[in-house]
Amino acid sequence: MFTSGLTPKIWQFAVSTRALPAVFFLCFCATVSAQDGQEASQLQALSEELSSKKKAIQIQAIDQLAASGDERVERWLTALLEGELYRRKGDNRIVYATKSGKLLALKDADTGEPLEEVKKRSVSKLRINNAIRTQLKGLLGTLKLKHPDANIREQAVADLVGKVESAAMPEIRSIYQSETNADVKEQLRLLISVHDLENGSDEQRSEALSYVDGNLHNPVINALRNMSLNAEDDTVRLQATQLLSQAEKKLVWYSRLETLFFGISLGSVLVVAAIGLAITFGVMGVINMAHGELIMLGAYTTYFIQQLLPDFMEISLLLAIPAAFCVSGVVGILIERGVIRHLYGRPLETLLATFGISLMLQQAVRTFVSSQNVAVINPSWMSGSWAVNPALSFTLNRLVIIGFCLLVFALLLLLFSRSGFGLQMRAVAQNRQMARAMGIRSDRIDALTFGLGSGIAGIAGVALSQLGNVGPNLGQSYIIDSFMVVVFGGVGNLWGTLVAGMSLGIANKIIEPWVGAVVAKVMILVFIIIFIQRKPRGLFPQRGRAAEA
Amino acid sequence: MHKYVSGAALSVALSLGLGTSGFAQETIKVGVLHSLSGTMAISETTLKDTMLMLIDEQNKKGGVLGKQLEAVVVDPASDWPLFAEKARELIEIEGVAATFGAWTSVSRKSVLPVIEELNSLLFYPVQYEGEESSKNVFYTGAAPNQQAIPAVDYLMDEIGAERWVLAGTDYVYPRTTNKILESYLKDKGVAEEDIMINYTPFGHSDWQSIVSDIKKFGSAGRKTAVVSTVNGDANVPFYKELANQGVSAEDIPVIAFSVGEEELSGFDTEPLVGHLAAWNYFMSVEDETNDEFIDAWQSFIGSDERVTNDPMEAHYIGFNMWVKAVEKAGTTDADAVEQAIIGVSVPNLSGGYSTMMPNHHITKPVLIGEIQDDGQFDIVWETSGLVAGDAWSDFLPDSKSLISDWRAPLACGNYDVSKGTCSGQNL
């Protein structure tokens, strides 16, 4: 990245974090002549120190390496940060290594030429810890301030906000002057303002104050808070206090929005988990204690699909959805045909039998797969978050699950109200005898309805595998909540399930910050007990002959 | 005549043969009391296998006191009262000489009265909250001063943490540990408002609000660290949420007391890299005894993917101590072994020796490891020497003046130094 076109000026640049108040000096020099590939580089010379077990020695060696001005420094430091630098036992040469099956493929760190493939034991990794990671990120950040890619520059500046020492400010200001990209310039302005708020001259400070009006970045808020308490100048203190109270008002609103989002996302998890049960319990009246295990089967299906197709991680979830629907659906139909159909009209026996099935399914997974949890990978489009502004961001996996929940709900609603199968299902649920008299094969409808509910539980498993653990006990943690949602919403009503799930989720998240997660859950349960006593049929009681019977 | 002689000789030989084989079949029974089904099966099944391996190896070396050992495995199914029943079955019906088992504190508390009533021995291999010392129990896991306190010291001195989040699952171990830590932090001059304490139910899966609170708590411009006593499964969604909300280990490091190699094998470890754990043993310890143990374990279990962890090391130490004590006492009688085992030293897996102290706790090194992307720990810090387990914490007002010493003449698990009395078994 450093071409000789850069100004041949040696400048020092200091970065510090509060965690590590050391000052790292780094010299960017393009003047050092390109080293001869044959000659051992500074990296190899520092081989001993870089692989030292003493972190202080490693830190010093990294500083030396960064100060060497070699043009390969950025690549080396990046590789060190990513854990790709290894030391070859025997000649102690430092190499790049990447996994290649069970072996490691080596590349010479000086020349980049491919070397042999070796076993793991013949090289040892250069291990780094948090302090060194912070150091490397700081060093790379300063290197990247002049990166040709504007996005990388912007990120580098964003990482440095609030962490720059006064000594480096003149250089930053000159970079600001010469920067052409508007976004990067904006970030640099923020970086300079945060510095000036606390350490700038009077003029710089008042300029910074007017700039940060309405800004919600955390370093800005902290600087304002400090100033409102400690600034010597009264007008400055007053101005800072004003800005701070305005910003805090906004923050309160954003945090309410955030709570609402948390509530909706918890609600959608509840709805996703419960909606299969809303069909089997709500429409058919079967108390299916194995519902949780059908969710678990869906989650395990996701795991096996990821294991079978390691190269298609990004789309594995999309493949898992139909697969999980089929697996859980078929198991559901088998349970219905094998056990439940003999027990219609005997809810207690159904409860016991399905509870037994749930234990069998759990133990089967323990025996045939493993009693350990299995690792389901999150595809990259479900990791991280979407930042609306510095004070508000939504996590992607939650957003996807909210969308997924609404989609499944809409499809089910369509199926129920617009398809022949939905009509028959409702007919059987409302009046079995009459439906049979009209020529509906109620047996077949029972099996298919139960299969549908189970299949939906399966795809709920795919969604839930992205949030928590996948293990034999997965189902246990959702079964109580699922029943709670269905009963609260009103048995036999899909809309009831949606409204109940969402309101329980939101209520839970509003209460939680006050009383803690444990008491919040207790309060919700107490509320439901009282509610059910008042309105035994739930939020949306089902009307019709069957309901009155 | 000849016929009769040979017939008699044959019958003598036969009866002798039967006699010796009958004699050889007399074994010493060892109880293994770990859940093989239910919630805790995830952690405890491995310990059952570890015990089977240790017993198997000891038998290959000729057993103990010239007799072969026989493992009696029962399944208390993660059901706490069932632990007591199964313990009674092991001791009364099977007649085991010692029992190795239990994981959660509540299961240990459930077994305790049975073990004491029937005067048998229990080796408990998991880190716990302390505040207990029974004549019949040996605590081979860490007491709070062997894990929690050094971990806080590390964060304070090496990382420079000034604000603290104590996050835990809502049961006895996190509550007691956090009480100890809170009092310890205040002793060190940390202000009340710089400590945030948070409890969540078992298996908690929705960490959004809590992580968001931690993030806000940590955004005050001073270094914040999380001390996590969150147990088991709940850790996965916790770390996932941290990563998704953009909290990295460099900003807010989380140090965990219940996350080990075994737990990490069920995680996608990418979001966890750089977070910390405090234990007395890590699989990545570079030592020959450890290499041998790992090789033996992997070949016993038939997979080179399986990992080793801290409670396994505790069983390794506890079992070897018991073997040594039985040989020293010349009998498996509980009272004799109990007295013989105090002061016994055996190698641990981190290159040193662990000794059984008079308070039935052992000496161990304390290690801090950073999670790596391969699910292993990189050891970043360790105590300079061994730390002796303290049964009664010095940081709780109720237990400050209590000591435990099971040697004669004191022979008391909770001797009150200020009053000069032994307050009886387990407060």
| A185-228 tens-digit pLDDT | 888 888 888 888 877 777 888 888 888 887 888 888 888 888 88
Q: Chain A neighbours among B 26-55 (CB < 8 Å)?
A: 36-37, 39, 41-42, 45
Distance between CA atoms of B353 and B360, rounded to whole angstroms? 16
Pairing between strand B27-33 and A103-108? unpaired
Q: Is the pLDDT higher at A463 or at A469?
A: A463
- How far apart, in whole angstroms, are the C-alpha atoms of residue A108 and residue A75? 12
Using only C-alpha atoms, chain A has a radius of gyration, in whole angstroms, of 31
Does residue A463 lie within any of the structural domains? yes
Check whether domain B148-256 has CATH 3.40.50.2300, yes or no:
yes
Q: What is the least distance, in Å, from the CA of A363 to any CA of chain B? A: 7
Ranking A4-8, A210-214, B61-65, B91-95 by mean pLDDT, the lowest is A4-8
Å between A218 CA and nearest CA of chain B: 7
Q: What is the DSSP letter of B392?
A: S
Q: Is B261 on the interface with A (CB under 8 A)?
A: no
Nearest CA in chain B to A262: B208
Dihedral sign (CA A309, A311, A315, A316): positive
Does residue B293 carry a pLDDT above 70? Answer: yes
Tokens of B408: 């004669």
Q: Do A123 and A97 meet the contact criterion of CB atoms below 8 Å apart?
A: yes
B384 at the A interface (CB within 8 A)?
A: no
On whether any CB of chain A is under 8 Å from the CB of B236, the answer is: yes
Residue B33's φ and ψ, nearest 5 degrees, are -115, 75
Residue at A259 is within a domain: yes
| A94 contacts A87 by C-beta, under 8 angstroms | yes
Is A274:A288 a contact under the CB 8 Å cutoff? no
> Is the model's pLDDT at A5 over the cut of 80?
no
Between A and B, how many residue pairs show a Cβ–Cβ distance under 8 A? 135
CB contact under 8 A, B240 and A378: yes
| Nearest CA-CA distance, residue B159 and chain A, Å | 6
Determine the pLDDT at residue B155: 93
When CB atoms are compared, the residue of A371, A384, A516 closest to B42 is A371
Residue B209 φ then ψ, to 5°: -65, -40
For B225, name the nearest residue in chain A, comparing CA atoms only: A19
pLDDT for the residue A312: 85
Binary contact (B42, A19; C-beta < 8 A): no
Chain A positions in Cβ-Cβ contact with residue B246 (cut-off 8 Å)? 384-385, 393
Q: What proportions of chain A, in percent to the nearest 5, are helix, strand and coil? A: 65, 5, 25
Check whether B107 has a pLDDT greater than 80.
yes
Domain with A505 in it: what CATH number? 1.10.3470
Instruction: Give per-residue pLDDT as tens, A32-68.
Output: 334 444 567 888 888 888 888 777 888 888 888 888 8
Domain limits for position A512: 253-376+392-548
Find the mean pLDDT for residues A431-438.
88
Q: Do A137 and B221 touch (CB under 8 A)?
A: no
Q: Which of A35, A25, A31 is nearest to A7 (CA)?
A: A31
pLDDT tops 80 at residue A19: no
Cβ atoms < 10 Å from Cβ of B307:
20
Distance from CA of B238 to the nearest CA of A (A): 9
Task: Identify which has the larger pLDDT, A70 or B256.
Answer: B256
Per-residue confidence at B16, pLDDT binned at 50, 70, 90? very low
Instruction: Write down the pLDDT at residue B327.
Output: 95
A319 CB-side CA count, 13 A: 17
Cβ-based neighbours of B165, under 8 Å, separated by 6 or more: B195, B196, B197, B198, B214, B217, B218, B224, B225, B226, B227
CB contact under 8 A, B233 and A383: no
Whether B172 has its CB under 8 Å from any CB of chain A: the answer is no
DSSP-derived pairing of the beta strands B254-256 and B387-388:
unpaired
Q: Is A385 close to B245, i.e. CB distance below 8 A? A: yes
Cβ-based contacts of A137 with chain B (< 8 Å)? 250
Question: How far is Cα of residue B99 from the mean position of the Cα atoms in its chain?
Answer: 14
Measured in whole angstroms, how far is the alpha carbon of residue A309 from the centre of its chain?
Answer: 22
Band the pLDDT of A426: cuts 50, 70, 90: confident
Tokens 């099971």 locate to B406
Contacts of B236 in chain A (CB under 8 A): 373, 468-469
Residue with the bigger pLDDT between A145 and A102: it is A145
Reported as a pLDDT band with limits 50, 70 and 90, residue B268 is confident
A11: three-class secondary structure by DSSP: coil
- Taking CB atoms and an 8 Å cutoff, what residues of chain B touch A393? 245-246
Percent of chain B at pLDDT exceeding 70: 93
Residue A242 lies in a domain: no
SS3 B387: strand
Structural element, H or E, at residue A494: helix A494-534
Instruction: Give the C-alpha separation, A1 to A407, whole Å.
Output: 47
DSSP A549: -
Q: What is the pLDDT of residue A201?
A: 79
Contacts of B188 (CB under 8 A, 6+ apart): B156
The residue with greater pLDDT, A36 or A123, is A123
Which residues in chain A touch residue B241, judged by CB atoms under 8 angstroms apart?
395
CB contact under 8 A, B39 and A129: no
Residues in B 178-207 with any Cβ partner in A closer than 8 A: 198-201, 203-206
Query: Residue A189 domain-assigned?
Result: no
Identify whether A510 is part of a domain: yes
Nearest to A19 among B213, B223, B262 (CB): B223
> Omega before B81 cis (within 30°)?
no
Contact A258 B378 (CB under 8 A): no
SS (H, E, C) B24-81: HCCEEEEEEECCCCCCCHHHHHHHHHHHHHHHHHHHHCCCECCEEEEEEEECCCCCHH
Q: Which residue of B has its CA nearest to A133?
A: B250
pLDDT tens by residue, A527-549: 999 998 998 888 887 765 454 44
Residues in contact with A488: Cβ distance below 8 Å, sequence separation at least 6, in sequence order: A496, A500, A504, A528, A531, A532, A538, A539
The confidence band for B424, taking pLDDT boundaries of 50, 70 and 90, is low
The answer to ipTM > 0.85 is no
Q: Is residue A404 part of a domain?
A: yes
Nearest-angstrom CA–CA distance, B62 and A105? 46
Residue by residue, what is the 3-state secondary structure of B302-340? CCCCCCCCHHHHHHHHHHHHHHHHHHHHCCCCHHHHHHH
Q: One-letter amino acid identity for A124? A: S
Please check whether residue A179 lies inside any domain of the structure. Answer: no
Q: Cα–Cα distance between A445 and A421 in angstroms, integer?
A: 8
Q: What average pLDDT does this structure show over A231-252?
A: 86
Domain boundaries, chain B: 148-256
CA distance A70 to A109: 13
> For residue A328, with 0-12 CB atoms within 10 Å meaning exposed, 13-18 middle and 19 or more buried, which class applies?
buried
- Bridge partner residues of A389 (DSSP): A392
Q: Which residue of A has its CA nearest to B270?
A: A377
Confidence tier at B25 by pLDDT (50, 70, 90): low
- Contact A106/A168 with Cβ under 8 angstroms? no
B37·A383 Cβ contact <8 A: no
Q: Is the Cβ pair A130, B159 closer than 8 Å?
A: yes
Write the residue in B42, B198, B268 that is nearest to A375 by C-beta: B268
Which residue's entry shows tokens 């009459």? A434
Query: Nearest chain A Cα to B216, which residue?
Result: A218
Least confident of A254-263, A436-445, B33-42, B264-273: B264-273
> For B200, which of A222, A378, A517 is closest by C-beta distance?
A517
Cβ B309 vs Cβ B261: under 8 Å: yes
Q: Given a cut of 60, is residue A75 above it in pLDDT?
A: yes
What share of chain A has pLDDT > 70, as a percent? 91
Domains in chain A: how many in total? 1
* 8 A C-beta contact, residue B166 and residue B180: no
Q: Which of B42, B203, B216 sits opposite A372 (nearest CB)?
A: B42
CB B368 within 8 A of CB B380: yes
Which residues of chain A lie closer than 8 angstroms to B75, CB-CB? none
In one-letter notation, the amino acid at residue A518 is V
At B97, the pLDDT band (50, 70, 90 cuts) reads: very high
Asked whether residue A205 is assigned to any structural domain, the reply reads no
